[in-house]
Amino acid sequence: MRNNYLPILLLLLLLACPTWGQKKVRTGKQPLFGKTLEKYTISSSQLSGATFYLVSGHGGPDPGAIGIYQGRPIHEDEYSYDIILRLARELLTRGARVEIIIQDAHDGIRNDKVLSNSKRETCMGDPIPLNQKARLQQRCDKINALAKNDKNKYKRAVFIHVDSRSKGKQIDVFFYHAPGSPKGKKTATQLRNTFTAKYKQHQPTRGFSGTVSERDLYVLRHANPVAVFLELGNIQHHRDQQRLVLSNNREALAKWIAEGLIADFKKNK
């Protein structure tokens, strides 16, 4: 007879505590994403044990490359920053540790075509110097200090820029790694392979010509974690501009980069 009461007791427990027996949902908060997107759900642990140092090019007193879109100026630092924020959110939702090195406390993730330019960006709160070498050294110093105290074995620094060439030169995304860095080459190659597969899926008649190569860039040589450097297109070319000004394209870029990093982590953690 006593066992007959068990279903009733279980029902009473569920009514008293509706979440009893349910898996706890993990969430996080990053104010840099903006008020509407600052809260996120950690949907998986795919990147548990991975740390990413995300750096958008230029910022502060230096806007980087400047193009003209529909008669209005568009600035490299604003678009690289927006894509970095979107990438950070993708990685965080998969359980990664993410350090956003260049920050703007005001902008958040934006969906506008023309992103207004400002000089508010900081290097994690510190003013960004105008001098190029000092600016690059500052972000490397910040990355290296964070990495020194990080116990995760898999660490990657990701630098995102936008190139500037002649208006008639359309380019694909290029991936660079430090000279003599086999791990950097593996990460850059995996990113390129991911982009190749995505273009084959979404634009099968277009093809993808982005390449992987060594570049003797200051940040690649002076950042201690394995580093990759991405050039996302030519800010002067009208078709490459679509890769930047359309928020859906910026989101796609972030997702593809994230997928490439996930694949690299699975292979090299």
In a domain, 11, yes or no: no
Rounded Cα–Cα distance for residues 144 and 220 (Å): 12
| pLDDT value, residue 1 | 46
Q: Which one-letter amino acid corresponds to residue 266?
A: K
Domain membership flag for residue 17: no
In terms of DSSP bridges, do strands 27-29 and 39-41 run parallel, antiparallel, or are they unpaired? Answer: antiparallel
- The CATH number linked to 118 is 3.40.630.40
In a domain, 39, yes or no: yes
- Nearest CA among 193, 228, 241 for reference residue 67: 241
Give the C-alpha separation, 249 to 104, whole Å: 21
Q: What percent of the chain has pLDDT over 70?
A: 91
pLDDT of residue 15: 60
- Kindly report the pTM of this predicted structure: 0.91
Cα three-residue angle 134-137-142, rounded to 5 degrees: 125
Residue 8 has pLDDT above 70, yes or no: no
pLDDT digit string, tens, across residues 59-97 = 999 999 999 999 999 999 999 999 999 999 999 999 999
Q: Tell me what pLDDT residue 254 has.
A: 98
Does 12 map to a domain? no
Q: pLDDT, tens digit, for every residue of 166-197?
A: 777 888 999 999 999 999 999 999 999 999 99
Mean pLDDT, rounded, for 100-111: 98
Mention every residue, 6+ apart, whose C-beta is less than 8 A from residue 191. Answer: 175, 228, 230, 257, 260, 261, 264
Q: Is 160 within a domain?
A: yes
Q: Which domain holds residue 29?
A: 24-268
Residue 221 falls inside a structural domain: yes
Q: Are 210 and 218 in contact (CB under 8 A)?
A: no
Within-domain flag for 252: yes
| pLDDT(240) > 80 | yes
How many structural domains compose the chain? Answer: 1
> End-to-end CA distance of the chain, in Å?
56
What's the whole-number mean pLDDT along residues 116-143?
A: 97
Over residues 138-162, the mean pLDDT reads: 98
User: Among 73-77, 157-161, 206-210, whose mean pLDDT is lowest?
Assistant: 206-210
